[in-house]
Amino acid sequence: MSQIERPKTIVTRKLPSAVEARMAELFDVELNADDTPMTEDELRDAVARAEVFVPTVTDDISADILEAAGDQLKLIANFGVGVDHIDLSAARAKNMIVTNTPGVLTEDTADMVMALILSVPRRLAEGEKLVRAGGWQGWRPTGMLGHRVNGKRLGIIGMGRIGQAIARRARGFGLSVHYHNRHRLPEAVEQTLDAQWHDDLDDMLAEIDILTINCPYTSETHHLIDEARLGLLGRDVYVINAARGEIIDEAALAAVLENGQIAGAGLDVYENEPEIEPRLLGLDNVVLLPHLGSATFEGREAMGDKVIANIRIWADGHRPPDQVLEGWV
């Protein structure tokens, strides 16, 4: 591939200032200064003009949008690790390379999952609301009891980078680690993490106290946790999701939470972001966060650095390091 000096690069959302400044040095870049999400027409116009397109999780890059792309669009350098918002088959059919930003948000996301694992059973958000509302009347032996985390069984769905980072943290909190993954981890890794593999997801669901979802969202994981699987969880089980909302049937989750069929949930992601199933908003046993998993200054800059490296290396005529390959998800 020939080299491209300053590829025409269109970015859909505002990025950290240092990232934008570096992009402006290296590329012929169009930024989104006021951060207003692009409309479908604006996305179509962008892909029709860009050589490199930099979307993120809030953009729906459907086959229909990519249909508007000109032959000059060769690289979609996603700002983020999840690429479920991009129609990968349509991109491949048009010979576009898609890259993402793996690795740099692993620890931040795992921290956020641990925060939810602690917050929900220990009722941290509820307690905080009580104090701020002036409702706290002092310590009581029976006041705001929650469930102990130490000694419980954690079930992790998806044992990639983030799942493993959660497993490492979980051991420190005295949780035993169970996991379900498309592929069993090598024995040495299982031993290091002290993690027990469950070939059958349903078997694992019936055994655990806390479930955390950390797999990619694909057509196979759509509503992986549906009404039937929620029914396998015990009454004292907590569900945590910081992966993608669509992996859980949100309406079914609201129903089991309302009925007390499970103990609570900690959610950082939703089926129709930024909309949230209204029934969840009214429940005290649910902690709701606004998709904060990777929201650290350090993480977002590192994501930007990865986007830049992918574009630069591609523009220099090489295969970008974070190319999303067929069968990746």
CB of 180 to ligand DGY, least distance (A): 21
Closer to ligand DGY by Cβ: residue 152 or 291: 291
Residue number, 266 or 293, with CB nearest to ligand DGY: 293
Binder among 57, 211, 262, 324 for ligand DGY (CB under 6 A)? 57
b/e sequence 270-304, b meaning 16+ C-beta within 10 Å: bbeeeebbeebeeeebbbebebebbebeebbbbbb
Whether 318 is a known active-site residue: answer no
Query: Which residues face 31 on adjacent strands?
Result: none
Q: Does 82 bind ligand DGY (CB under 6 A)?
A: yes
Write down the least CB distance from residue 302 to ligand DGY, Å. 11
Please confirm, yes or no, whether 67 is among the known catalytic residues.
no
Q: Active site residue: 22, 178, 180, 291, which one?
A: 291
Give the interface segment with ligand DGY, choosing from 74-82, 140-148, 171-179, 307-315 (CB under 6 A). 74-82
Instruction: Determine contact, residues 197/227, Cβ cutoff 8 Å.
Output: no
Please tell me the count of residues contacting ligand DGY according to CB under 6 A: 7
81 in contact with ligand DGY (CB under 6 A): yes
Q: How far is the CB of 205 from ligand DGY (least distance, A)?
A: 24
Per-residue interface string for the shown chain with ligand DGY, residues 84-123, x marking contact by CB under 6 A: ---------------------x------------------
Tokens of 79: 């700002």
What whole-number distance in Å separates Cα of residue 57 and Cα of residue 78? 8
Query: Between residues 15 and 81, which has the closer beta carbon with respect to ligand DGY?
Result: 81
Query: Is residue 80 involved in binding ligand DGY (CB under 6 A)?
Result: yes
* Distance in Å, CB of 70 to ligand DGY, minimum: 27
Least Å from the CB of residue 229 to ligand DGY = 23
The residue range among 75-83, 115-123, 139-147, 149-157 that interacts with ligand DGY, by the rule CB under 6 A, is 75-83
Q: Is 48 exposed, middle or buried (0-12, 13-18, 19+ CB in 10 A)?
A: middle
Of residues 256-295, those binding ligand DGY (CB under 6 A): 293-294
> Which residue's CB is nearer to ligand DGY, number 121 or number 320?
320
Which are the catalytic amino acids? 244, 273, 291
Q: Which residues bind ligand DGY (CB under 6 A)?
A: 57, 80-82, 105, 293-294
